[in-house]
Amino acid sequence: MKGPRLIAKGIALAALVSSVGLPVRADEPTPSVQEIRSAAQEYDAGRRAFGDKDYDGAAAHFENAFHDAPSAEALRNAIRARRKAGQLARAATLAEVASLRYPKDAPTSVVVRETLAESTSKLHKVTLSCSPECSVASDGRAISLTDAAQTIFFLEPGNHDLVVSWSNDRTKVQKFSARAGGHDEMAMEAPPLPPPPAPTVAVAVAPVLPPAGPTASPADPLADTRTKPLGPAVFIVAAAVTAGGVAFTIWSGINAENDPGTSAVKMQCAGMTRPASRRSFAPTSRSAPRAGQPS
Statement: residue 75 has pLDDT above 80: yes
Angstrom distance (rounded) from CA 229 to CA 213: 13
Using one digit for the tens of pLDDT, what is the confidence trace for 215-266?
555 555 555 555 555 555 544 545 554 555 545 454 455 455 555 555 554 5
CATH number for 122-192 (one of 2.60.300.12, 1.10.10.10, 1.10.10.1200, 2.60.40.2070): it is 2.60.40.2070
For domain 7-119, give the fold.
Answer: 1.25.40
Residue 200: pLDDT band with limits 50, 70, 90: confident
Beta-ladder partners of 148:
134
Statement: residue 37 has pLDDT above 80: yes
Rounded average pLDDT over 42-52: 97
Choose between 267 and 62: higher pLDDT. 62
Residue 281: pLDDT band with limits 50, 70, 90: very low
> Three-state SS for 290?
coil
Beta-ladder partners of 177:
159
What are the residue ranges spanned by the domains of the chain? 7-119, 122-192
Residue 191 exposure: Cα atoms within 13 Å on the Cβ side: 12
Name the amino acid, one letter, at 5.
Answer: R
